[in-house]
C-alpha cells in the first residue's frame, strides 16, 4: 500500500488567512481541495509539500451565484457532483454539467472540485507511476530525472493536460479569479495554460483560485466530446470542445426581386472556437477550424472542413493510452461529433 508522506495540515476559514499561510510557508506549501489529484501524487512522491492547506472551508469558494443572463460565478471548491446536479448550470450551461459528468466516478466527483480540476497536474505514462517504478527508469525530466523518455532529445516535458473541463472553459471564454497577499487578478482561461508539462500554469504557487466566471449566454452554444478507453471512468486522451455564437439571420431575399432562398434565412456563425484537450501540455485552440465556420451556417461542408483542420493540427505523442496516430485520426471524428451535437 502506498502511504502519504508526513505533512502539516492547515484549515483556514477565510481567504485572507489562506493566502497568508501559503505566503509565509513558501514553495514547500500547497493548497488542497478534494485531494483526488494531489494525494495520489503525494503517495507516488511526485509532489511532496511540507504544508498542505485545505480550501474546502472558505465560504466564498463554496458558492454558485448568478445565472445565464447575468453570467455565472462558480466558487473553486464547489464539487463536481454539485456542478453536475445544479439546476442553473444544467439549464444555462449544459456543456459544463455534461463535461463534468464524464469526470472520474460518482464517489470521486463527490470529493473532487472544479478548481482542482482546472489546476490538475499534467499526465504521462512515464510519470503517473509509483516511486519504485519511476526509480527503475531513473526518473524523468518532470520529477527527479534529467531525460524525457517520450522525446529523449527534448529539453521540454510533453506531459498532457488531462482535465475535461479545461477545453470547455477555454472554448466558452471563462475567466479565473486569483488572489494572493499581493492582491487579486482575473485571467482568461485561454491564456492560463502553458505548453510545458512541468510549468503548465500561469499561476504562482502562492495564488489561490477563488472562482470561475462564466460569460452571459447570449446566443452561443457549446458541446464536448471525450475519447477514453473505459466508458465507466477514465481520463480523456482526447477532448474536443466546440463553441459557436450565432448572429442574426441573413435576409433570405435574393437581389433584383428574384424571390428568396430559404437557406439564407439560417443564422450565421459570428464566432467559433474549437479546442482540443488531452493531446498536449496545454489545450489547443484550432483557429483554422474556427475560420471554416465563421460567417457561415453550420452545414455539412463547414463541419467537415473544421474537422479536417483539427486532424491536421492534432499531434499527440505516445505518452498516454492508445496509439498516437489513431488519436490523431480521432481528432477529426470527435470534432465532427462535437459540431453535429450543436446542430440538433
Ligand atoms: C481514478 C481517477 C480518475 C480520474 N478521472 C478524471 C477524468 O476522467 N477527468 C478529469 O478531468 N479528471 C479526472 N481525475 C482527476 C481528479 O479527480 C479531478 O480532476 C478533480 O476535479 C480534481 O479536483 P480536486 O479537488 O480533488 O483536486 P486536488 O487534488 O485537491 O487539487 C488538484 C491541484 O489543484 C490545486 N488546487 C486545488 N484547489 C485550489 C485552489 N482553490 N487554489 C489553488 N490551487 C488549488 C492543488 O494544489 C493541486 O495542485 C481522476 C482522478 C482519479 C483518482
Ligand atoms: S513527457 Fe517526458 S519529461 Fe514529461 S513526464 Fe513524460 S517522460 Fe517525463
Tens of pLDDT along the chain (344 residues) come to 899 999 999 999 999 999 999 999 999 999 999 999 999 999 999 999 999 999 999 999 999 999 999 999 999 999 999 999 999 999 999 999 999 999 999 999 999 999 999 999 999 999 999 999 999 999 999 999 999 999 999 999 999 999 999 999 999 999 999 999 999 999 999 999 999 999 999 999 999 999 999 999 999 999 999 999 999 899 999 999 999 999 865 544 444 555 555 556 678 999 999 999 999 999 999 999 999 999 999 999 999 999 999 999 999 999 999 999 999 999 999 999 999 999 97
Q: Check pocket membership of 141 for ligand 2, CB cut-off 6 A.
A: yes
Give one DSSP letter per residue of 215-278, joined into a string. PP-SSEEEEEEEE-S-SSS---SEEEEEEEEEEEEPP-BPGGG--B-GGGGSEEEEEEEEEEES
- Given 3-state DSSP classes, what are the helix, strand and coil percentages for the chain, each rounded to the nearest 5? 35, 25, 40
- Between the CA of 35 and the centroid of ligand 1 the distance, in Å, is 7
Q: Give the number of whichever ligand sits closest to the CA of residue 280.
A: 2
CA neighbor of 159 nearest in space, from 46, 54, 275: 46
Query: Is-contact 50 198, C-beta < 8 A?
Result: no
User: How far lies 132's CA from each of 40, 125, 128, 152, 183, in Å?
Assistant: 15, 14, 12, 21, 41
Site to probe by mutation for ligand 1, drawn from 21, 36, 177 as the one with most ligand atoms within 8 Å of Cβ, is: 36
Please tell me the distance from the alpha carbon of residue 320 to that of residue 327, in angstroms, as a whole number.
10
- Between the CA of 121 and the centroid of ligand 2 the distance, in Å, is 12
| Ligand 2 atom with the shortest distance to the CA of 127 | 5
Q: Give the number of whichever ligand sits closest to the CA of residue 148.
A: 2
Q: Check pocket membership of 242 for ligand 2, CB cut-off 6 A.
A: no
Q: Check pocket membership of 139 for ligand 2, CB cut-off 6 A.
A: no
Please tell me the distance from the alpha carbon of residue 111 to that of residue 89, in angstroms, as a whole number.
19
Q: Check pocket membership of 140 for ligand 2, CB cut-off 6 A.
A: yes
| Ligand 1 atom with the shortest distance to the CA of 165 | 11
- Between the CA of 230 and the centroid of ligand 1 the distance, in Å, is 19
Site to probe by mutation for ligand 2, drawn from 318, 319, 321 as the one with most ligand atoms within 8 Å of Cβ, is: 319
Site to probe by mutation for ligand 1, drawn from 55, 103, 200 as the one with most ligand atoms within 8 Å of Cβ, is: 103
Please tell me the distance from the alpha carbon of residue 82 to that of residue 70, in angstroms, as a whole number.
20
CA neighbor of 283 nearest in space, from 221, 240, 318: 240
pTM: 0.95
Q: Check pocket membership of 30 for ligand 1, CB cut-off 6 A.
A: yes
Find all residues with CB under 8 Å of 66, minimum gap 6, and list them.
72, 73
What the block records as the C-alpha cell of 97 is 454539467
Residue indicated by cell numbers 473541463: 165
Amino acid at each position: 500500500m502506498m502511504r502519504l508522506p508526513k505533512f502539516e495540515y492547515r484549515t483556514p476559514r477565510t481567504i485572507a488567512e489562506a493566502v497568508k499561510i501559503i505566503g509565509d510557508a513558501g514553495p514547500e506549501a500547497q493548497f488542497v481541495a478534494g485531494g483526488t489529484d494531489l494525494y495520489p501524487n503525494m503517495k507516488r512522491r511526485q509532489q511532496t509539500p511540507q504544508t498542505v492547506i485545505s480550501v474546502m472551508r472558505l465560504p466564498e469558494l463554496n458558492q454558485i451565484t448568478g445565472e445565464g443572463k447575468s453570467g455565472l460565478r462558480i466558487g473553486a471548491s464547489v464539487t463536481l457532483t454539485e456542478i453536475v446536479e445544479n439546476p442553473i448550470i444544467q439549464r444555462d450551461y449544459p456543456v459544463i454539467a455534461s463535461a463534468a459528468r464524464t469526470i472520474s466516478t460518482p464517489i470521486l466527483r463527490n470529493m473532487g472540485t472544479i478548481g482542482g480540476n482546472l489546476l490538475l497536474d499534467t499526465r504521462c505514462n512515464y510519470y503517473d507511476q509509483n516511486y519504485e517504478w519511476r526509480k527503475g527508469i531513473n526518473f524523468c525530466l518532470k520529477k527527479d530525472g534529467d531525460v524525457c523518455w517520450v522525446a529523449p532529445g527534448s529539453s521540454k516535458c510533453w506531459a498532457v493536460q488531462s482535465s475535461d473541463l479545461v477545453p470547455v472553459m477555454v472554448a466558452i471564454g471563462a475567466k479565473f479569479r486569483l488572489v494572493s497577499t499581493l492582491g487579486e487578478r482575473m485571467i482568461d482561461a485561454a491564456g492560463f495554460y502553458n505548453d510545458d508539462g512541468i510549468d503548465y500554469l500561469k499561476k504562482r504557487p502562492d495564488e489561490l483560485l477563488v472562482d470561475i466566471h462564466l460569460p452571459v449566454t447570449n446566443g452561443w452554444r457549446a458541446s464536448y466530446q471525450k475519447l477514453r478507453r473505459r466508458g465507466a471512468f477514465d481520463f480523456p486522451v482526447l477532448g474536443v470542445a466546440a463553441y459557436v455564437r450565432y448572429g442574426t439571420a441573413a435576409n433570405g431575399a435574393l437581389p433584383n426581386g428574384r424571390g428568396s432562398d430559404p437557406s439564407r434565412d439560417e443564422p450565421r456563425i459570428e464566432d467559433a472556437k474549437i479546442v482540443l484537450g488531452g493531446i498536449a501540455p496545454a489545450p489547443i485552440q484550432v483557429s483554422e477550424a474556427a475560420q471554416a465556420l465563421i460567417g457561415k451556417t453550420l452545414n455539412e461542408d463547414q463541419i467537415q472542413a473544421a474537422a479536417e483542420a483539427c486532424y491536421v493540427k492534432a499531434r499527440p505523442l505516445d505518452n498516454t493510452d492508445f496509439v498516437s496516430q489513431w488519436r490523431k485520426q480521432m481528432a477529426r471524428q470527435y470534432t465532427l461529433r462535437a459540431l453535429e451535437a450543436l446542430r440538433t
